[in-house]
């Protein structure tokens, strides 16, 4: 229980809503639930069709997810259910495993139970917040690829032909494109007509009912299909009716072999569900000024996927469109999702037998419209134009999604994003400067032996010291310490907030090298986190506590001034120049440097170490 409370988890958060419920809240929650039902009901059918599943999988998944969200998600606005991303990722996962569409219902329960288990574990161990370290460039590249894949996968339904050149268990994006191209020669005129009418009806209804255009569009299409079939005797490809009394639990396919087979796909699916839902939750929480409880959301999302796996559903996550509708409709408590689930169940029972009047071409057109709504032009513009690395990650993720399964594309995008970040962060920003004979500032080249009288060097560092920067840090410091006249290096580490074991070992090697060459390393402005790391590794004993000066935030330069006095004591010479320079280098980074010369050869007046306290 301590771990639950530590991560902000509540076993049944809906109890808090029941404790202070009233008729006013019930009215608003019922209205919000009905508004969301008008969106989630047609979307659930569309996403099931997109995933290659019978439409009841989407409807049952939406019903189960909304009930579970009300009980366990802990948010009055969050609406869980099937989404575009989860549908595409589902079919791509099974395609990568060589599982045909006909066999998906056998393996689907195992996949969903594993996915939900991973989400619950992420909530219990506070791993859910790790998604904030995935760059928006990866997410934008993934979403853009999903939109394009959705459009390509629905073209054959829009034009009314079958993809006969490919097999379901070997269908990749390129294969679908080739098969679609060859299938364009057998376009069905009635499907094209229905698709065009769907576009017109959707745009017209959107102006009249902007909150639920999809639901009213499907009703209009059903009426049109009835006229075409019954009055004009035109053959139209339609959906299969649903009998809610045939709803059964799904316990098939659970075995150790299937668990091993589905593990990787379940991990990717849980990751993407977590990413989508976290973005939605944080967006809505920021609107009302509340802190987003990501762990509670992940817990509810995990249970929703498990229940969907056990009750003939499909993968679910949070939808920004449906959650925003819930917010705009004035939902007062999480019971709004409970009402949504009840309305969905009622719609399945009442409207299920009439699904044979919903045309596939019209539903496919709506899927394309819904997919295009996922694209955010502003976000894409920022990602592509802000930095080259972001643009590179975006396009690599996008192209990888076309050449490989979506799960692999996500791995590639995240790996490239981390690699580019490490490339930027690997080089510790430090250099030395000094005044020449004309009292002009110049940067010291570590390879030269120009400064014969230089005895002590102060180096200001920017950036963390971790495994990727260890080699460069050690090599650059070694080059500086190779100058024959150099005796002491004072390393200013105020802006070094972290040091890991790899860099500690590199620092240990550097210390050994300096010890053999009779040089001394002094650390100044060391913060408490770096000092604890040095202390735990016992490197403080190697450096010597007398050579480590901790940071004094109230007196910013006191630590370095004390280090200078200590260096003077080691050298034994009381006449040194001290210069503190602020340098703006070519990379636009502000660096603070200081240099001490052993004898006054500048034209400016000397300054003693005793005056360093005034810095």
CB 88 within 8 A of CB 149: yes
Judged against a pLDDT cut of 90, whether residue 338 lies above it is answered with: yes
Q: In this structure, what token pair is assigned to residue 519? A: 């040089």
CA distances from 491 to 549, 568, 582 (A): 10, 15, 16
* 274-284 per-position pLDDT tens digit: 888 887 887 78
Q: How far apart are CA 150 and CA 157, in angstroms?
A: 11
Angle between helical axes of 136-159 and 173-183 (0-180°, round to 10): 30
**pLDDT, position 581:** 35
CB 361 within 8 A of CB 157: yes
* Mean pLDDT estimate for the chain: 80
Judged against a pLDDT cut of 50, whether residue 603 lies above it is answered with: no
* 105-121 per-position pLDDT tens digit: 889 999 999 999 999 99
Contacts of 586 (CB under 8 A, 6+ apart): none
**CA 129 and chain centroid, separation:** 9
Terminus-to-terminus CA distance in the chain, angstroms? 53
**pLDDT, position 310:** 93
Strands 454-462 and 590-597: antiparallel
Cβ–Cβ contacts within 10 Å for residue 259, how many?
A: 15
Judged against a pLDDT cut of 80, whether residue 30 lies above it is answered with: yes
**CA 456 and chain centroid, separation:** 46
Q: How far apart are CA 527 and CA 257, in angstroms?
A: 51
Q: In this structure, what token pair is assigned to residue 15? A: 């109890």
* Torsional class of 300: left (φ above 0), alpha (ψ -120 to 50), beta (otherwise): alpha
CB 329 within 8 A of CB 32: yes
Judged against a pLDDT cut of 70, whether residue 575 lies above it is answered with: no
Q: In this structure, what token pair is assigned to residue 229? A: 């079939």
Q: In this structure, what token pair is assigned to residue 320? A: 């920004």
Residue 611's pLDDT band (cuts 50, 70, 90): very low
Tokens 């590794």 belong to 537
Q: In this structure, what token pair is assigned to residue 303? A: 């249970």
Encode 195-248 in three state secondary structure.
HHHHHHHHHHHHHHCCCCHHHHHHHHHHHHHHHHHHHCCCCCCECCCCCHHHCC
CA distances from 324 to 35, 234, 273, 320, 436 (A): 11, 40, 17, 6, 64
Rounded to a whole number of angstroms, the CA Rg of the chain reads 32
Average pLDDT over residues 91-118: 87
Judged against a pLDDT cut of 90, whether residue 425 lies above it is answered with: no
Nearest to 577 by CA among 445, 422, 457: 457
Q: Which helix (H) or strand (E) holds 158?
A: helix 136-159
Cβ–Cβ contacts within 10 Å for residue 428, how many?
A: 19
Q: How far apart are CA 458 and CA 577, in angstroms?
A: 12
Contacts of 404 (CB under 8 A, 6+ apart): 412
Handedness of CA 447, 448, 453, 459 (dihedral sign): negative
Strands 454-462 and 433-435: unpaired
Strands 579-584 and 590-597: antiparallel
Its pTM surpasses 0.85: no
Angle 487-489-491 from CA coordinates, rounded to 5°: 175
Q: Is 98 exposed, middle or buried (0-12, 13-18, 19+ CB in 10 A)?
A: exposed
CA distances from 368 to 81, 148, 153, 572 (A): 18, 9, 9, 79
Q: Please name every residue paired with 238 in a beta bridge, in sequence order, or none if there are none.
A: 359
Q: How far apart are CA 464 and CA 171, in angstroms?
A: 46
Structural domains present in the chain: 2-420 (no CATH), 433-614 (3.30.750.24)
Lowest model confidence (mean pLDDT) among 309-313, 332-336, 399-403, 439-443: 439-443
The residue length of the chain stands at 615
**pLDDT, position 60:** 95
Q: Please name every residue paired with 524 in a beta bridge, in sequence order, or none if there are none.
A: 492, 549
Contacts of 23 (CB under 8 A, 6+ apart): none
Q: To the nearest whole percent, how much of the chain has pLDDT over 90?
A: 18
Instruction: Of 128-132, 209-213, 424-428, 598-602, give the range with the top mean pLDDT.
Output: 209-213
**pLDDT, position 369:** 87
**CA 70 and chain centroid, separation:** 25
Average pLDDT over residues 480-501: 80
């Amino acid at each position: 229980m301590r771990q639950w409370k530590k991560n902000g988890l509540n076993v049944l958060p809906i109890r808090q809503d029941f404790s202070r419920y009233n008729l006013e809240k019930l009215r608003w929650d019922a209205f919000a639930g009905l508004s969301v039902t008008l969106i989630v009901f047609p979307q659930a059918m569309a996403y099931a069709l997109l995933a290659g599943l019978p439409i009841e999988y989407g409807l049952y998944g939406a019903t189960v997810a909304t009930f579970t969200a009300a009980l366990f998600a802990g948010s009055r606005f969050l609406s869980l259910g099937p989404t575009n991303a989860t549908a595409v990722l589902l079919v791509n996962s099974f395609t990568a495993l060589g599982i045909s569409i006909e066999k998906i219902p056998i393996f689907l329960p195992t996949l969903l139970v594993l996915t939900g288990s991973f989400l619950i574990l992420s909530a219990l161990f506070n791993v859910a917040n790790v998604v904030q370290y995935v760059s928006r460039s990866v997410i934008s590249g993934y979403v853009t690829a999903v939109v394009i894949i959705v459009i390509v996968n629905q073209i054959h339904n829009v034009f009314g032909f079958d993809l006969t050149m490919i097999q379901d268990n070997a269908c990749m994006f390129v294969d679908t494109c080739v098969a679609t191209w060859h299938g364009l020669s057998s376009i069905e005129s009635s499907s094209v007509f229905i698709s065009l009418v769907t576009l017109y009806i959707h745009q017209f209804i959107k102006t009249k009912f902007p909150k639920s255009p999809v639901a009213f569009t499907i009703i209009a299409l059903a009426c049109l299909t009835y006229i075409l079939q019954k009055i004009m005797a035109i053959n139209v490809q339609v959906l299969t009716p649903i009998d809610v009394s045939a709803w059964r639990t799904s316990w098939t396919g659970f075995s150790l072999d299937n668990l091993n087979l589905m593990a990787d796909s379940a991990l990717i699916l849980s990751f993407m569900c977590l990413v989508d839902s976290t973005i939605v939750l944080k967006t809505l929480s920021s609107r009302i000024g509340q802190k987003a409880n990501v762990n509670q959301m992940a817990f509810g999302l995990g249970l929703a996927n498990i229940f969907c796996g056990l009750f003939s559903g499909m993968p679910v996550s949070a939808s920004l469109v449906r959650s925003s509708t819930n917010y705009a409709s004035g939902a007062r408590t999480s019971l709004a999702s409970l009402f949504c689930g009840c309305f969905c169940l009622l719609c399945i029972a009442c409207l299920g037998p009439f699904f044979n009047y919903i045309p596939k071409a019209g539903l496919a057109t709506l899927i394309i419209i819904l997919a295009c709504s996922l694209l955010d032009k502003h976000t894409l513009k920022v990602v592509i134009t802000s930095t080259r690395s972001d643009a590179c990650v975006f396009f690599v993720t996008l192209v990888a999604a076309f050449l490989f399964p979506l799960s692999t594309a996500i791995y590639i995008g995240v790996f490239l994003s981390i690699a580019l970040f490490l490339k930027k962060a690997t080089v510790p920003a430090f250099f030395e400067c000094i005044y020449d004979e004309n009292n002009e500032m110049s940067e010291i080249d570590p390879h030269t032996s120009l400064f014969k009288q230089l005895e002590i060097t102060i180096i200001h560092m920017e950036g963390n010291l971790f495994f990727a920067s260890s080699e460069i840090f050690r090599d650059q410091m070694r080059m500086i310490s190779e100058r024959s006249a150099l005796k002491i290096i004072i390393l200013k580490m105020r802006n070094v907030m972290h040091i890991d074991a790899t860099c500690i070992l590199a620092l240990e090697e550097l210390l050994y090298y300096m010890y053999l060459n009779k040089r001394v390393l002094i650390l100044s402005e060391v913060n408490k986190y770096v000092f604890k790391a040095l202390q735990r590794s016992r490197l403080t004993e190697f450096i010597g506590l007398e050579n480590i000066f901790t940071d004094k935030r109230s007196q910013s330069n006191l630590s370095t001034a004390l280090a200078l006095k200590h260096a003077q004591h080691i050298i034994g010479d009381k006449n040194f120049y001290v210069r503190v320079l602020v340098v703006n280098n070519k990379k636009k980074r502000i660096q603070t440097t200081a240099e001490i010369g052993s004898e006054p050869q500048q034209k400016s007046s000397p300054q003693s170490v005793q005056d360093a306290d005034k810095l």
